[in-house]
Structure 1
Amino acid sequence: MIDDVRAEPAALRAEDIAPFFSFTLLEYTSDDPGTAFAKLRDFVRTSAGRTRVRRTARAVGELYGDSDRAESIRLREATGIDEVFGIVREQTKAPSWAMGDSPFTDLVHDLVVIARRGRFVALHGGEIISDRALDKWVDRPGVPFRRLPHPVLAGLFPGDVRMAWMKGTHRPRTTKADTIAKGGLRLQEESKPLEAASYALRAAKTDFDPQDATALLRGSVIVSPDKSRVSWANRTDLITTLRALVETFESVDKALVAEKPPDPILPDLAVREADLATVRCAIDISVATTFDHPLEDYTEEHLDRIGLLQGALMDVTGKDRSAEFIVDVGRDGSVCGQLLMKPIRRGHGYMLDVRLHGTPSAEAVVREIRHAIGDGDLLTVHFESGHAFIGNQIYRQNPTGSPFRGYEFADFTGFTITREKPNVAGDQNIHEAIAVGTDSFLFTWVARRYSTGELICDDGAGEIADFLHLDNDGTLTAIHVKAADSASAARQVSLTRYEQVASQAVKNIRALANDELISRLSSPRVGAPASWSDGNRVPDRSRFIEGLRARVDSDETYVVIVQPHLLQSVHDRAREAMAAGAPSAASRRLQLLDDLLNGVRASVVGQCDDLIVIGSADY
């Protein structure tokens, strides 16, 4: 119901009002701030009269700061505000504990205050106007307002960060929290770049100490960039509140006209990007995995799309000054055509506009991949500008730049690096065909490389790793194998080819505890799992399990990822570009891969000794 809130409300005096300093900040998008402010005032009046069932509301007081009354003139002169409007709503409602037919009612008074200075306006009054209602109104055609840019507010009040509330920009996963809340004396010192890079700031409380010693706004300030809101711990009279608001407007104005936004208070966090013009040169594209979300949260359609995209070739080529990019797509390492993609606005976020580009050699395959991509909800696209398209939002993420130190490069000459295991059907047949005859796939490479000590294959549903190796000195190695996307000598760094195998490695770390491992390996899932002792086939895993039982706590455990897609020459040139201070597309991609593998290593060393990633040497 909507009551008549215009029925002769009483005039409010500034001395009667002491609102808590919590304002949503907006900027005009028109050349007529007076008319725009009038529209906002009408919206406030209408909202003040809108109530739920079993409630009544009426305006009992209004404050005008733009009239010629002596009170209004004094208020403007005392604060520096151009226009002020306030409304007090009297509402009767049933208590929250009352049943539907209860005779009890509560009488409450809610306050809304809006204030303008120059091209900025601030609104106080969440009890009457919710964030959702304000968003819906601001998004209407013809409404001349917008929220302030996220990066501006994220760095507007520097100081020791005492509290921070963050949300994940990564795909939801069981191994990483969706949201984080932290408190401390100075959270800047606690921040860990690898952990923080995939989180964006929701709100932060800083101990703000302005350079101007006469400034009113200081101490505990809470900024919520997503909501374009600033709150201050001090509760004071209206005139002091409006003076502090003027200081806020002046700080915002300086930040908006500066050459670049202020430094963020937590610089390791991702920041939501509002300006597509700053997004340029895509350098990597990757696909969600079934480890990124609990399996029950995926629909059958999601799983089909993920499976198709994970098996597809997708090689991105970005454009130097554009967010638009071209993706070579295909199957089995062969390019079948190209797709032209670019992020475009959709509501408060973005989607990928995906179109055929050129004439495909296999149109049906290209169209199938295009259909699976949809609006990009399953994709992550990284850009050289430091941005990432994730979950239909664009965030500015700066790679940490900390190199991963666990790369090794091995000779894969004579092996088919684009295939992992023998091309036969059934788990038992795969185990029997490894390293037999002319088999040259990556599983055979592993069997040849680890030819001393005990080696077993654990490939199949519920595997701990593709292979497990036990050296004669008691060193245990879990080996995860992933095929390269291409065998071309011109192939570049690819984050995609590592994401799934890295997730598998992290997921199965706990199973490497000795007792757990013995228990699981003692009941093999196939009748005769492939096993070797000093390079020779043996009928079962008994020697391997005996070796596990003989291990002691001081024996080392390693996790190895075999992924020959990364060429040593490409790696070395990218490192040289970083060292020379002249980053290339390849070095940007390598930074992203470093970040991924450093994150995996952080999980691995919690229970094992280290992570080793084997790429391909150039021979």
Structure 2
Amino acid sequence: MELPISAIRPYFSVIVLEGEDFAGLTGFLEASGRGDVVARHEAEDLVAFVRRREDPPTWAGPEAGFVDVTHQLTIVVRRGGFVVVCTDKPSQERLQTWLDRQSSLRRYPSEVLESALIRGEVKNLWLRGIHRRTSVKADGKVLSGSSVEQTLSPHEDGSYVAGSARAALPSRPDLLLLKGNAGTTPRNALVWLSQRADFQTFTAMAAELLDLLEEARAQGAERPDFLTMLASPADIDEVRDAFEVIVEDPDTLPPGSLSDELRELALSVRDSPPAVTGFPDSAAFTLDGAEVVPEAVGDKIRLDGESPILDTDLLTVYYQSGHSYSRGRFWQARAPEYPFRNWRFEDFQGWDIRREKPRADSPQRIHDRIGSDTSLFDWVARAYDHGWLICDDGPGEVADFLHISAARTLSLIHVKSAKSHSPVRDVSAAAYEVVVSQAVKNLIYVSRGHLRQQLTRPPVRSPASWIDGRRVRGRRDFLRQLDARVATDETRVVILQPHVSQRVYDQLRGPAGHGSPELMRLHLLESMLNSARQSATGLNADLEVIASKE
């Protein structure tokens, strides 16, 4: 059947390609989909067809006898050495995989798409994290507003990449049809406008888009300024020494983009992460003993190896060189440029930094024994021997300790033991992850109303309390001081975790630490602490971390 081309009204959502294999592309698109092609139109630089699919509804099995019928439109338009493809979402996903496997066609350069289409006010921004997964920082963000690029922070967002964006198009007399806001996913060379067009208008819009992109390329495409606060693309030659691989939940991908078998494999690998071994001079690594070699294929990086999971967009690889592999690209995070400024190094000589609490067989006994042991809880009782101090350790705790000074400064103190007492112990982000997560989660109690209500229900019958270092019964005096505080009084979130030593920290921050894998671990840790501090300052509090001098 001949497709009545003048009667179609597609949405303008296109993938922009470069290359000469027009016949190979159209052949793949026709052959790769499910269902029968029931209508077709072909001209010299145009192929359009409709595929009919019959499937049971998502809520019914095949035996129910119900059938949903859909008709999927595909348009392929050639203009010189460029090709524009408009097709349905599942076909887009298959096309992206096919583009990674051949060399005759390539996506339009992502940096040109960024330069041409994300220059105006940004209305929507989809960010994807390349940082090590942590409970105190989101894996991804979706921002919406009138100009969301102004909300970005290098501290908070330096370990994210812009997956997609929707921004105001330039207002120019030569852009008659491309007006308003346009969305783009640069890594997939995808561009969309939320409007339908007849076929003649559709082809004219495609021509305007190509002219706009070619003009931006001729002028020397530069990333928009706000994107420099995010992670930037990296060259494969800079990447070395993989140390961790994670697999995302397959449900983050569009429906239908994974087979049932591949989805089950992804779930299995996600729940049981594979063993990873990196190489000190290469981006290659082994995954459960099998070698994986990253290779540049067109404008993307392909992971060449035996596991089928490598062909999905679910894998993130972390490198000691400070880079990450995510969705076909290597990235360099910006976050390592910003050290955490609120370290406080204390002397723990005579204290067991590997032990958090006194040895006791019940929560009440822990409270009773604070002050007669060498644990970190005992150190807190000794160090905060002025003002009003209470222990809140136990189920539903606000923090391990809370302190109010004579100046009415409130401190919420969270305690975690070090993993080693060696004076040359390695930096470990994992040693801080749990306690930082707890501190951020409990920021809700910074509000005085929430805090007072919670503290009236202590976790044990006789909670430990002190005034100027002297044991007292109950919390009555502490609560009086809490009630006397006013909005301008300071609030601090204090994390006591002495695993990082000042000796090692100063070495890593000095000339001797340059290029050290340990420095990269410190960067990961301080990025996490900066993120947590920003959460605290947003509630008019501050974050301080107590570590060890030795």
TM-score by length of 1: 0.65
Hey, what does 2:252 align to over in structure 1? Answer: none
Hey, what does 1:470 align to over in structure 2? Answer: 404
Q: Confirm or deny: 8 A CA contact 2:390 2:402 kept in the other structure.
A: yes
Once the two structures are superposed, residues 390-449 of structure 1 have per-residue CA deviations (whole angstroms, 9 ceiling, x without a partner) of 89997542216233322211111122222212243332232233331xx32211111111
Aligned counterparts of 2:469 and 2:327: Cα–Cα separation in 1:
47
Once the two structures are superposed, residues 103-161 of structure 1 have per-residue CA deviations (whole angstroms, 9 ceiling, x without a partner) of xx99989451242644x54312338x73234346557x779656567566444545224
User: Amino acid of the residue matched to residue 27 of structure 2?
Assistant: D
Count of residues in correspondence between the two structures: 504
Shift of the 532–498 alpha-carbon distance from structure 1 to 2, 3 Å rule, reads same
Once the two structures are superposed, residues 176-227 of structure 1 have per-residue CA deviations (whole angstroms, 9 ceiling, x without a partner) of 5844132335x444422233234432322345669x9989997654321253
Hey, what does 1:430 align to over in structure 2? Answer: 366
Q: Confirm or deny: 8 A CA contact 1:167 1:201 kept in the other structure.
A: yes
Could you tell me which of 106, 112, 128 is aligned with 2:75? 112
Hey, what does 1:58 align to over in structure 2? Answer: 38
Aligned counterparts of 2:369 and 2:246: Cα–Cα separation in 1:
32
Q: Confirm or deny: 8 A CA contact 1:378 1:391 kept in the other structure.
A: yes
Q: Confirm or deny: 8 A CA contact 2:136 2:532 kept in the other structure.
A: no
Q: Secondary structure at the match of 2:337?
A: coil
1:511 aligns with 2:445: yes
Q: How far is the alpha carbon of 1:508 from its aligned partner?
A: 1.0
1:2-21 matched pairs, under 5 angstroms: 9=2
1:384 aligns with 2:300: no
Aligned counterparts of 1:121 and 1:602: Cα–Cα separation in 2:
45
Hey, what does 1:229 align to over in structure 2? Answer: 190
1:180 aligns with 2:117: no
Q: Confirm or deny: 8 A CA contact 1:467 1:480 kept in the other structure.
A: yes
Shift of the 390–474 alpha-carbon distance from structure 1 to 2, 3 Å rule, reads farther
Aligned counterparts of 1:489 and 1:343: Cα–Cα separation in 2:
37
Hey, what does 2:501 align to over in structure 1? Answer: 567
Q: Confirm or deny: 8 A CA contact 2:445 2:451 kept in the other structure.
A: yes
Q: Confirm or deny: 8 A CA contact 1:49 1:58 kept in the other structure.
A: no
1:548 aligns with 2:487: no
Higher mean alpha-carbon deviation, 188-197 vs 16-25, is at: 16-25
Aligned counterparts of 2:245 and 2:503: Cα–Cα separation in 1:
22
Larger RCO, structures 1/2 (Cα 8 Å, 6+ apart):
2
User: Amino acid of the residue matched to residue 25 of structure 2?
Assistant: L
Gaps of 5+ in 1: 1-6, 52-56, 66-83, 289-300, 327-338, 354-376
Shift of the 389–446 alpha-carbon distance from structure 1 to 2, 3 Å rule, reads farther
Q: Secondary structure at the match of 2:543?
A: strand
1:614 aligns with 2:546: yes
Shift of the 597–390 alpha-carbon distance from structure 1 to 2, 3 Å rule, reads farther
Shift of the 133–591 alpha-carbon distance from structure 1 to 2, 3 Å rule, reads closer
Once the two structures are superposed, residues 431-487 of structure 1 have per-residue CA deviations (whole angstroms, 9 ceiling, x without a partner) of 233331xx3221111111111222222222221111112223432211111222322
Shift of the 407–153 alpha-carbon distance from structure 1 to 2, 3 Å rule, reads same
Q: How far is the alpha carbon of 1:350 from its aligned partner?
A: 9.5
Could you tell me which of 321, 335, 356 is aligned with 1:399? 335
Gaps of 5+ in 2: 58-63, 249-267, 306-313
Hey, what does 1:410 align to over in structure 2? Answer: 346
User: Amino acid of the residue matched to residue 115 of structure 1?
Assistant: R
Q: Confirm or deny: 8 A CA contact 2:285 2:292 kept in the other structure.
A: no
TM-score by length of 2: 0.72
Could you tell me which of 189, 194, 197 is aligned with 2:155? 194
Q: Confirm or deny: 8 A CA contact 2:128 2:140 kept in the other structure.
A: yes
* Bigger radius of gyration: 1
Q: Confirm or deny: 8 A CA contact 1:168 1:179 kept in the other structure.
A: yes
User: Amino acid of the residue matched to residue 144 of structure 2?
Assistant: K
Shift of the 617–17 alpha-carbon distance from structure 1 to 2, 3 Å rule, reads same
Q: Confirm or deny: 8 A CA contact 1:150 1:271 kept in the other structure.
A: no
RMSD: 5.2
User: Amino acid of the residue matched to residue 87 of structure 1?
Assistant: A
User: Amino acid of the residue matched to residue 113 of structure 1?
Assistant: V
1:597 aligns with 2:529: yes
Hey, what does 1:497 align to over in structure 2? Answer: 431
Hey, what does 2:240 align to over in structure 1? Answer: 280
Shift of the 432–282 alpha-carbon distance from structure 1 to 2, 3 Å rule, reads farther
Could you tell me which of 346, 355, 362 is aligned with 1:419? 355
Once the two structures are superposed, residues 315-347 of structure 1 have per-residue CA deviations (whole angstroms, 9 ceiling, x without a partner) of x99765334689xxxxxxxxxxxx99987679x
Once the two structures are superposed, residues 39-77 of structure 1 have per-residue CA deviations (whole angstroms, 9 ceiling, x without a partner) of 3222344578936xxxxx632x52332xxxxxxxxxxxx
Aligned counterparts of 2:170 and 2:125: Cα–Cα separation in 1:
21
Q: Confirm or deny: 8 A CA contact 1:454 1:532 kept in the other structure.
A: yes
Higher mean alpha-carbon deviation, 242-251 vs 459-468, is at: 242-251
Q: Secondary structure at the match of 2:164?
A: strand
